[in-house]
């Protein structure tokens, strides 16, 4: 897999995932929406850790500027 996410993109995803987790933990997110957002948060963390987003590949987006 080629890296297609830069540091800022990864940081934003981690912040969003932490925010969702805190809102769920505090009981502000409940029901089906809570579980959908938790799944999204897990996906954000995983893609941030490996610096690769499959959706970016499908859409032709590359936020990582690697020098050749």
In this structure, is residue 66 part of a structural domain? no
Task: Give the predicted TM-score (pTM) of the model.
Answer: 0.87
Kindly report, residue by residue over 20-42, the tens digit of the pLDDT. Answer: 999 999 999 999 999 999 999 99
The rounded mean pLDDT for the chain is 93
In this structure, is residue 64 part of a structural domain? no
Provide the percentage of residues in the chain whose pLDDT is more than 90: 79
Tell the residue number behind the tokens 């009981």, with chain if given.
27
Residues spanned by the domain of 18: 7-59
In this structure, is residue 24 part of a structural domain? yes
CA pseudo-torsion sign 18, 19, 20, 23: positive
In this structure, is residue 55 part of a structural domain? yes
Number of domains in the chain: 1
Asked if residues 51 and 5 have their Cβ atoms less than 8 Å apart, the reply is yes
- N-term to C-term CA, the chain: 17
């Amino acid at each position: 897999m080629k890296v297609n996410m830069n540091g800022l993109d990864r940081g934003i995803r981690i912040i969003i995932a932490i925010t969702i987790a805190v809102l769920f933990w505090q009981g502000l997110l409940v029901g089906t929406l809570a579980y959908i957002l938790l799944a999204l948060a897990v996906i954000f963390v995983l893609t941030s850790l490996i610096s690769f987003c499959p959706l970016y590949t499908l859409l032709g987006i590359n936020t990582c500027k690697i020098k050749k």
